[in-house]
Amino acid sequence: MVMDKRLVAFSYVRSWLVLPVTPLQYLVNLPSKWIDNVRAVIHTHDNLVNENLRLKSDQLLLQSRLQRLIAIESENNYLKSLMQSAQKVKAKTLIAELMAVDSEPFLSQVILDKGQRDGVYKGQPVLDATGVMGQVVRTDLFTSRVLLINDPHSGIAVQDVRTGLRSVAVGDGYSEKIRLLYVSKTADIQPGDIFMTSGMGDHYPEGYPVGKVISVTNNPSQQFKDVILEPSARLATSRQVLLIWYEHHA
């Protein structure tokens, strides 16, 4: 120590003396550096896991918002179609919304948020943007009950657009479709034919889409053809409907 302090040249000797100790210093410091590296890796892994969870959460949130926007856009498009249908109806109209659907087997009825205070009356026709849905069978002050055209108790006078053939369509409780009654085996009805309201009777005005023929069956053991129609209205999905007043009740 005295020589290192008094002789400058001895510093070179000191540097050579320190050289053998240097690997020991690195060796002693190695566990500390390894621990620091492990900590850094663990910290980075935790950050990546947390960021991944956050990104997944953000993705789910964005997807839910996107689905909501798609639903809103679809509803807006449907309302536009409904308003276009209302413009085609030459009578007073009122848009109503479904509040409840009966879930009993073989029963197809819905509850609307419009009732007697809105002028709704028993027997009033109900449409959606694509066709006839049914008719009002009961009215309360604030709500009304609608019997859909695919209910077994429903009946509607219809006419084939292609041939002019008239018939009566009733609901089929098993298939949730509608079928024609008493169709002669010689009647000219083909799959794809469109049936509209004929205006016969006192419940539905003439010229509204009811359904499209999806099957025609000639059973030798039966006296009449079995004709099944797919309803034009979206009976299972429509939320907004159109109540109409035709001339008899205007």
pLDDT by residue (tens digit) across 60-97? 666 655 655 555 565 566 556 666 655 655 568 888 99
Do 249 and 204 contact (CB within 8 A), yes or no? no
Radius of gyration of the CA atoms of the chain, in A: 39
Domain residue limits, the chain: 1-88, 93-249
What pLDDT does 239 receive? 86
Distance CA 198, CA 230 (A): 17
Give the model's pLDDT for residue 93. Answer: 83
Given this model, what pLDDT does residue 228 score?
95
Q: What is the pLDDT of residues 131-170, one digit of tens each?
A: 899 999 999 999 999 999 999 899 999 999 999 999 999 9
pLDDT of residue 250: 46
Which residue has better confidence, 239 or 55?
A: 239
Identify the pLDDT of residue 183: 93
pLDDT confidence bin for 54, thresholds 50/70/90: confident
Pick the CATH number of 93-249 from 2.30.40.10, 3.90.1640.30, 2.40.10.340, 2.10.10.90: 2.40.10.340
Name the maximum alpha-carbon separation found in the chain: 132
Q: Quick one: CA torsion of 79, 85, 88, 90, rounded to 10 degrees?
A: -90
State the pLDDT at residue 249: 47
**pLDDT exceeds 90 at position 108:** no
Q: Across all residues in the chain, what is the average pLDDT?
A: 79
Q: Which residue has the higher pLDDT, 11 or 117?
A: 117
Choose the most confident range, by mean pLDDT, from 3-17, 108-122, 201-215. Answer: 108-122
pLDDT at 202 over 50: yes
Q: What amino acid is encoded at 32 in this protein?
A: S
The residue-averaged pLDDT of 196-219 equals 87
Give the residue, 76 or 119, on which the prediction is more confident.
119
pLDDT, tens digit, 9 for 90 and up, residues 214-250:
999 998 888 899 999 999 998 888 888 889 887 654 4
pLDDT given for residue 68 in this prediction: 55
In this prediction, residue 199 carries a pLDDT of 84
